[in-house]
Each structure stands twice: as C-alpha cells, then as structure tokens.
Structure 1
Amino acid sequence: MTGSGNGNGSGPVLDAAWAIDWLRRSAAVVAENRVALIELDRAIGDGDHGENLDRGFTAIVAKLDQETPATPGAAFKMAAMTLKSKVGGAAGPLYGTAFLRAGTAVGDAAALDAPMLVAALTAARDGVVARGKAASGEKTMIDAWTPAVDAAAAEAAADSAPAVVLAAAADAAEAGAIATDPLIARKGRASYLGERAIGHRDPGAASSALILRAAADAAAASAGAVAGGAAPAGTGS
C-alpha cells in the first residue's frame, strides 16, 4: 500500500467518534468470531479466549451506552479499565495494558493524525511486550502487533492518511497472524505443547488482527463520511 497523502499524514484526523466506533466494531467482530477464537484457543490453550474477549467488549459497549468519552485517549483508557476488570485469563491484562498505553501515548489530544496513530500502536505493542514478556516469532499476539506497527510507521513516513495507516496495519496484522501457524509456541500454555502447536494459529494474534481491522474499518468509515459531507478543508467541521 502506498502513501496517498500530501504532507504530514494528510487526510481527516481521527477523533473520539472514530475511537468509539472502533470499540463498537471490535465488540461486533469479536462476538461474530467468538466460537472461532474459542476453537483456536482450545487447540493450543485453555479454550477461553473468545469467551473472555466477548465478555470484555460487551462490557465496553455497555459503558459506551452510558457515557461518551470526549477524546480518543479517554476512550482507550475506559476500554483498558473495563477489560482489566471484566476479562479473565491472559487476554484482559494484555489488551487492557495495550489500550492503557495507547491512551497514555495520545494524552488529551482531541484527534489523532498519522504520526500519533503510530505512537498509539507502538505504545500498545510495547505494553503487550512488557506485560507478556514475549518477542516476535514466539507464537503470540506480538506476531500480529509488530508487523502492524512496522507497516503503520512506513505509511506514516510516506505521509499517508490515517485511514491508510490503519489499513496497512490491519493487513500486516492479518498476515502476521497467519504466519503463526507453523511456529512452535515459546510463551504461555501453548508452549507446553512443543511441536504439537505447529499448524495451529495463535488465538491472540488472530484476535489482534480482528481488532486492528475494526480500527481500520472505523477509520475508512470516518474518512468516507468526511469526503461525502463535511465542510471543505480549512472551514472547520
């Protein structure tokens, strides 16, 4: 995917409405793939990944129905606290840390441009690394997150629009998740299986790809809405 901007991550920046849409889309796609994630986890883990994530994102939607975060960072931090309190197993702490670090990285910014998105994704990935003590190639969600961060950074460096940055991240995450199939697990419950884990996709990498695709879809919808009916650039919104 090539850069399509005309300077400093051009295109509409992504505000709280995008972040909220991302979280709602994540809840929908996790619910849709709950059984598939359970089956992936049952093959090499304890089988609760899909159920736990579905519970957590359902709780996030319930929170969003009660309150509307004012900034992307506030949305991320609300998601983090909800996931940490509602999700058991490894998924709650890992995703909770990812969203918390992303929220801290963007602070109180009202909207995120391409470089800020890269900063958020990088902070999220680094949070997962710190929490899970995992590295690329160990058959974990890092195998989706690291290529996503790298692809996003490359697009931002090419002055691509935020929606393009996130689309590249999602594409890379999906490829990274698929690439966990032939790996031997080095972390978590799956590591006890040794070579028996070969041929099975890591459930955390799979769910990471789903959630990052939801972010890209929300950004594409936001960009389309702006292109279709917003005020011309420089006139406000």
Structure 2
Amino acid sequence: AALRARLAGVPYRGASWVCAAHGDGRVREVELETPRGRRRIAIDHLAVGYGLVPNTELAAQLGCALDTGSAHACVRVDDDLATSVAGIYAAGEACGIGGVDAARIEGEMAGHAAAGALDAARALRARREHARAFADLLPRHFALRAQVRQAATAQTVICRCEDVRLGQLDEHADWRAAKLATRCGMGSCQGRICGAALTELRGFAPSAATIASTPAAPAHGARPPVFPTRLASLAGLSYPAQDATAPPR
C-alpha cells in the first residue's frame, strides 16, 4: 500500500503482461495482454522480469545439500541456518527468495551462529519467521500464470549464447538431451539464464536423485563461480599500499 501511494499517478496494470515488442533498431512499441484484450502502446524503454531464482552454485560446489521440493532448488538449512556441511552457513536468497528483510535478518543470524554466539542467533528467530511468512506469500500472489509461459513461441530465443530457439527443444525430453543436440546452455553463461527459463517452460531441471548423487555439481552443469587456489598464488599477488591513517580493510 505504501509503495502504491509513492507511485501515485503512475499507471499500474494488474493481470497484464508484455506479449510482444516492436521496433526498428530500438524498441518503439509493446503489445500488452490485459483483461480487456490486447493493447499496443508506444514506449521508450522496456524492462521485463519474471521473478527470481536462488543461486545455489557456490553451496553446491562446497557439497551442501539442496532442497529440491520446488522447481528451483535452494540450499537446505536448519533452524540456525547451518547447511549440511559443518562450518558452512547460508542466508538470504540462496535459502529461497524472501526479499531484503529476510536476507538481512538471516545474514545477522548466520554471522552470530558462525561466530559461536548461538543465543544471539536464536534471539532473531521470531523476526526471521515473520519475514519468511511474508516471503511465503510471494509465490502465491506472483506466480507465473500459464498464459505468460504460453507467450513464448517456437521462434523465441531461449539460449542467447548459442542462438537456440524454443522450437528446437520441443523434441527433447530433458536438459541433457537438449544440450547434446542443440548446444543449449553451452555458451558463455553455461546455462545460468536459459536453464532457469527452460525449468519454467519445459520442466528441464536436474532431478532430486541427480543432485543427491552429485552434490557438488551446479544445476544445469554450469561452470563453478569460484575455483580453488593455492596460498602461494595469493601470497604472490601485489596490492596497493594502504594509507596508514585509513581504517584496515
């Protein structure tokens, strides 16, 4: 309600979505699907978002167990935000999309728990439960409707890296088959973008059994976001001299 008050005068169209964009060299118009039918309006800029998904790549590489109960896996944690790997804690969106309030509270909880201050961490549980209760409402009220998924046509580019279109994937039953036949997900992003899209559009996602048997493998086979390095390599790096009057970094 407060957000709507701050946006007074800005058109807000519920139950509507962009189904096409048009232009020559740059976007000029969009077609909107609305409860009153399709409308075409002139625009200068277009931003489209279909929700967020947890980033579990680092946790998976470290061997942390994932919760695969929904379409997009998240890191499994206990009440103290400890993962299945001793000494590793997770907080925020990696544990499930919950918004900034939940992330800040969980970050504070995880920090206390990692430092051994469990009483301080557990004192925040009520605030976390309150924040997560709001987060639980998000998928109920902002879930993608079937019509939005159906807006993607056979000519819709799914993998921008390898220029693979949705129609090229129709004959494949899973992610591996699609990847081998079309190179979908084998480009620079390694499936980080098209992987989430195909999970929604075609249900292409690693099975729970696959994740359980290979916990260190990121979803869709994406390259790890970090790599091990030797202490000698770090010691050999040169850093700019630090101002003696500046606080330590």
- TM-score under structure 1 length normalisation: 0.23
Q: Which has the larger radius of gyration?
A: 2
Higher strand share: 2
Q: Which has the higher contact order (CA 8 A, sep 6+)?
A: 1
Higher helix share: 1
- TM-score under structure 2 length normalisation: 0.23
